[in-house]
Amino acid sequence: MRLPSISVLLVALMMASSAWANPTAKATLSASPTPKPVPTRKLTPTPTPTRTPKPTATPTPQKTPTPTAMPTLSEANLYVLSNGGAGRVHVYPAGSNGDTSPIRSISSNGYGGSNAFGIALDTSGDIYLANTNGDSIIEYSAGSDGNVAPVATISGPNTGLVNSADPMSVAVDSQGNIYAAGTANGAVMEYPAGSNGNVAPIATISNANSVRLILDRRDDLYVLAGNPTLNPLTGVENQLLGSEVDTYRAGIHDGVRPVSRLFLNVSGGYDGATAIALDSQNNLYVAVPQSSGFDEIRKYAAYSAELAVPIATIVGENTFLDEPLAITVDSSGNIYVANGPEPNGNPEGLPGIVMEFASGSEGNVAPIAVIQGPDTDMGGLADLVLGP
C-alpha cells in the first residue's frame, strides 16, 4: 500500500484549517440548500365597525316670559267719555252688548273735568282728558274708580291752553309725550312725558286748525283739521268741524308742515267730520254727520292723500248712525262709534249709545252690538277709546 506523500498531507491540513477559520469560505465551497418557504397565512381583515352617531337630544324649549303690555284692542275694555255734568268716564268690559253696567266709573266732579271732550290712554293705562271749560289736560292713574283726584293737571298761562283755547282732543305717544288740540286757537301743543302744572309745550303747530288728534304706531300725528264754525254737536260757536286730515311725522317741532293732506270732500256748514281713527293697518276711518241724508263712517286706504276716495262707507237707515261724534277701531278691525247729542239739544243728560260694527262692514249694515240703556249710566257722549 502506497502512503500519501508528506506534501499532500500538508496541503489537506492547510485547507481544513482555512475552512474552519472562515465559515463563509465553506459556504462558498458548498452552497446551502434553499429553505422551504413558510406558507403565508391569509388573514381575514377585521371589519372596521361603523360608528353610529350619538343622537342629538332635542332641547326642551324654554318658555319665554310674556312681557306686561297693553292688551290687544280686541281684548280691551271700552272707555266712554260723557261730557257735561260730572264729566264721567265709564269703562265697559270687552264684548259688551245691551244694557251693560260699567265695571269702573271715574267722576271728575270737583277736579275741573266737568266738560271734557277728549280722552286718551298711555302705555301704562293712565287716562287723560281734554277739558274745554278748564282749558286743561287732566291725568288719572290707571284703574281709577270713583270720584278720584287726578295725578296731574296741565294748566296755566305757560301751557298755551289759556284764553279759551278749548282743548277738545288729547293723544299720548309711545314715549309718554302728550299732545293737545286747541280747537278755538287752532293749535296743537306737545308736552313732555310726566308734565304737571304750568308747563310750557316743547313744540307747537300754530295754524293746525285742529279738531281731533290721533297717533299711529310710529307716533306719526294725524290731525283732523277744519275751519271755525258753529259745532252742531256741542252748540259752541267757533269750534271746528273737519274738512281734511293732515299727517305730521313723529317728533313735531315749531312751524312744521304736514307731509300729506287728505281732503274729505265735505260741503261745509253742518256737514263736516267730527272724529278720526286708525286700524292696525293704518287705514283711516272718519265720522261724517250730515245736515241732510244719512250720516256716514268712511274708510280710506292707509296713507291716502289729496282727493282720494273712500274704499268703504257705512251709511243707511240700518246703521242707526245719528250724529256720530267719536270712533275707534280694535285690532280685529271692529269699529266702535259713539252717537253724540242732537244738534240743538242739551248734551247733559241725553241718553248715550255706542255701536259696534263688524270688521269689513260696508253699506247699509246693522251694528253687531249696541251698548245702551239705564244701567250703562251714559249721558251725552263725547269720545271713546280702548284700553286695559
Contact 380, 349 (CB under 8 A): yes
pLDDT tens-digit series, residues 80-109: 998 754 568 999 999 999 999 999 999 866
DSSP state of 8: H
Q: What is the pTM of this model?
A: 0.77
Least reliable range by pLDDT among 178-187, 342-351, 363-372: 342-351
pLDDT reading at 298 higher than 80: yes
pLDDT tens-digit series, residues 314-335: 999 999 998 898 999 999 999 9
pLDDT reading at 253 higher than 70: yes
Q: Which amino acid is at 184?
A: A
Region for 300 from its dihedrals, namely left if φ exceeds 0, alpha if ψ lies in -120 to 50, beta otherwise: beta
H helix count then E strand count, the chain? 2, 24
Distance, C-alpha 318 to centroid of its chain: 32
Per-residue confidence band for 144, with pLDDT thresholds at 50, 70 and 90: very high
Distance CA 4, CA 285 (A): 148
Distance CA 311, CA 324 (A): 19
* CA 139 vs CA 73, 147, 184, 385: distances in Å: 21, 13, 22, 15
Q: In this structure, what are the phi and psi dihedrals at residue 215, rounded to the nearest 5 degrees?
A: -125, 145
Given this model, what pLDDT does residue 352 score? 82
pLDDT: is 184 or 355 the higher one? 355
Per-residue confidence band for 113, with pLDDT thresholds at 50, 70 and 90: low
pLDDT tens-digit series, residues 164-210: 577 889 999 999 999 998 877 788 999 999 999 999 999 999 888 88
